[in-house]
Amino acid sequence: MKSLLALSGLLALSSAAAVAPQKVSYDGYKVFRVSVGKDVARVKGAVDKLGLATWMGGPRANANADVVVPPAQVDAFLAEISGLPTVTMHEDLGASIADESGFSTYAAGSANDTWFNSYHSYADHLQFLKDLQSSYPSNSEIVTSGNSLNGRPITGIHFWGSSKGKPAIVFHGTVHAREWISTMVTEYFAYYLLTNSGTSEVQGFLNKYDFYIFPVVNPDGFVYTQTSDRMWRKNRQAVSGSSCVGHDINRNWPYQWSVSGGASTNPCDADFKGKSQGDAPETSALSSWLQSTKKSQGIKLYIDWHSYSQLFMTPYGYSCTALATKNTELQSLAKGAAAAIKAVYGTSFATGPICSTIYKATGNSVDYTQDVIGADYVFTAELRDKGNYGFVLPASQILPSGQEAYAGVRYLLQNMK
């Protein structure tokens, strides 16, 4: 009987080992920035031939292509793109990730500005929000906007001034799992506004609006970046008929989802749009929450925070010719926010509609919130940097990123009608 139990235990351990995800190693990988110019076909051909991953979308004319290359394919890739201007963003991506991921130990109950000295585990992010809320119990609460595929609450913090129920300011972070700086920056907004709620300026903001800040709206994907694959982008949803996993929840919103050219129909691609609009649980939950909030109190401002490229953008992503109803005002506000950002540390943000400023993106949250929800002001931002580090931004840039981004938010709060 003992031997049977022992054998049973060994089989169980073997089975667990078989299904446990193996952590993806990027040791020795290089990230190259290629100036594509007019050679789109050549760069795309090299990427496709070698099966390489790209950051910030695939190769486009007169743009940069940031390409992730395994050590064994470096020589082949460089031969394929010979003659094109190329710089190395990461000499060893694995080493950059190791430097970035040195999480500091967070002591529960110590929500202070040292939080912004490093990146953190998902569990610590939840604890930080709870600790921040507990410091301001009379004018804040922890809220959720639904659950992820794997049952994790999409957790945020709601705070206000003299009363609740005013027009809402809504910020989403970490829609794409690998964009860790967006988690930290949105948390900085909550931290700054609450810790400065005694000042006349911030009191004015809080007395005029309710703030809802959701630092991680893709919790399953975010956890996966910390346990298995730092470069993961999508959620963790299985796709029928494919061995590939994940929906891009910012290509899955139920508006202009069917327009071609702004997302992939291939489940293996990073921007896979899903089998049908709104079929990602996270997208469904977030859209329902926005609808409810719009109905109950109205939405004054919505910003979806991403990285990287240093852009402050307006609708639309689904079309490069369609313009939002208040486009002139939106462009003016975006330029003002960018100027306010630059005034802090000299960091330049370009502005304009999503499609013409970065690339076509269908089924995105901004277009949905603009036209379906009918929020008063809608933007999306791509935070630091422009390509020196990309998604693996050093922790030393967390606090300045938050400070300059808040300057942009402050401009909007002061100038929205």
Question: What are 143-156's pLDDT values in tens digits?
Answer: 999 999 999 999 99
* pLDDT reported for residue 21: 60
- Which percentage of the chain shows pLDDT scores above 90? 89
Q: How far is CA 19 from CA 23, 151, 152, 239, in A?
A: 12, 20, 21, 18
Q: How far is CA 146 from CA 1, 52, 284, 289, 297, in A?
A: 48, 35, 9, 7, 18
Question: What is the C-alpha to C-alpha distance for residues 261 and 25, in angstroms, rounded to an integer?
Answer: 32
- 105 falls in which pLDDT band (50, 70, 90)? confident
pLDDT in tens, 10-34: 333 333 334 456 799 999 999 999 9
The answer to whether residue 6 scores a pLDDT higher than 80 is no
Signed CA dihedral, 63, 389, 231, 350: sign only: negative
Read off the pLDDT of each residue in 75-80 and give the average, rounded to a whole number. 97
Question: What is the C-alpha to C-alpha distance for residues 376 and 387, in angstroms, rounded to an integer?
Answer: 32
pLDDT: which is higher, 18 or 274: 274
Give the residue carrying structure tokens 């594509």.
Answer: 36
* pLDDT reported for residue 14: 37
- 7 falls in which pLDDT band (50, 70, 90)? very low
Give the residue carrying structure tokens 């060994």.
Answer: 10
The secondary element (H helix, E strand) that includes residue 296 is helix 281-297
Residue 360 contacts residue 317 (beta carbons within 8 Å): yes
Which residues is 143 bridged to in the sheet?
156
* pLDDT reported for residue 386: 95
At 211 the three-state DSSP class reads: strand
Read off the pLDDT of each residue in 120-124 and give the average, rounded to a whole number. 96
Question: Which candidate in 179, 187, 382, 404 is catalytic?
Answer: 382
- Which percentage of the chain shows pLDDT scores above 70? 95
Active site residue 201: no
Give the residue carrying structure tokens 């896979």.
Answer: 272
The answer to whether residue 168 scores a pLDDT higher than 70 is yes
The answer to whether residue 328 scores a pLDDT higher than 70 is yes
Read off the pLDDT of each residue in 347-366 and give the average, rounded to a whole number. 97
The answer to whether residue 100 scores a pLDDT higher than 90 is no
How many residues make up the chain in this entry? 417
Name the average pLDDT for the chain.
Answer: 93
The answer to whether residue 106 scores a pLDDT higher than 60 is yes
Read off the pLDDT of each residue in 292-321 and give the average, rounded to a whole number. 98
358 burial type by CB count under 10 A (0-12 exposed, 13-18 middle, 19+ buried): buried
Question: What is the C-alpha to C-alpha distance for residues 285 and 217, in angstroms, rounded to an integer?
Answer: 10
